[in-house]
Amino acid sequence: MRARDLMTAPVIAVQPWTSAKEAAELLSTHGFTALPVVDDDEGLIGIVTEADLIRGRIPVDVRNANERREAASVGKTVGDLMTSPATAMSTGTDVADLCQALVDARIRAMPIVDGSAVVGIVTRGDIVRVLARDDTDIARDVKHRLEIYGGSGRWQIDVRDGNAHILDQFDDDSDRHVVQLLALAVPGVVAADTAYAGEEQNR
């Protein structure tokens, strides 16, 4: 599975001059955790997160003058708050690599780019939702992809806990390799194997 199969697109992005309040409203309204920050050409220049927006923005106890001065200096635009440069990955990135990057960097969202242009975003929540997909839904999507590739009635598909087992009515190793790749591209498939149905029946 690649980033393009999982990303939310089109992506809602903001510019450096967008106000912190407007960015917070976008996060709240859409349930996002982060927003890519782009320039006039839609190129990625940074990212602004929930943590960036809440840091120092709640009024402090007025009895503490030092903290009051710190709160007053908080940036008012996305450009003041964003992390720049931002880490991004391409549409063809393997989701396994994307997951590892999210964990290693301790971030919750990864902008997806085509060249320098932001075309989508993948969050930890997106990945968790894919892992939680019902096996019946996954099997239906695998079947659909395989029927587009080689017609209906050729494959038997069984999905359990995201593991897809596919039986091919024809003994064709090269086709089964393609089928395995197609199955692995389906959101929710964590592993896929194929076999010749005739061999399975003779066991």
Beta strands in 102-154 (DSSP E): 109-114, 117-123
- Tens digit of each residue's pLDDT (9 = 90 or more) over 41-74: 889 999 999 988 888 666 666 666 555 545 445 6
SS3 content of the chain, % helix, strand, coil (to 5): 40, 25, 35
In this structure, the answer to whether residues 58 and 123 fall within a common structural domain is: yes
In this structure, the answer to whether residues 26 and 92 fall within a common structural domain is: yes
In this structure, the answer to whether residues 171 and 90 fall within a common structural domain is: no
Domain boundary among 110, 131, 152: 131
Model confidence at 157: pLDDT above 80:
yes
Number of Cβ within 10 Å of residue 80's Cβ equals: 15
In this structure, the answer to whether residues 123 and 25 fall within a common structural domain is: yes
- AA letter at 194: T
Q: What is the pLDDT of residue 4?
A: 92
Q: What is the pLDDT of residue 158?
A: 95
Q: What is the pLDDT of residue 35?
A: 94
Q: Residue 92: which pLDDT band, with cuts at 50, 70 and 90?
A: very high
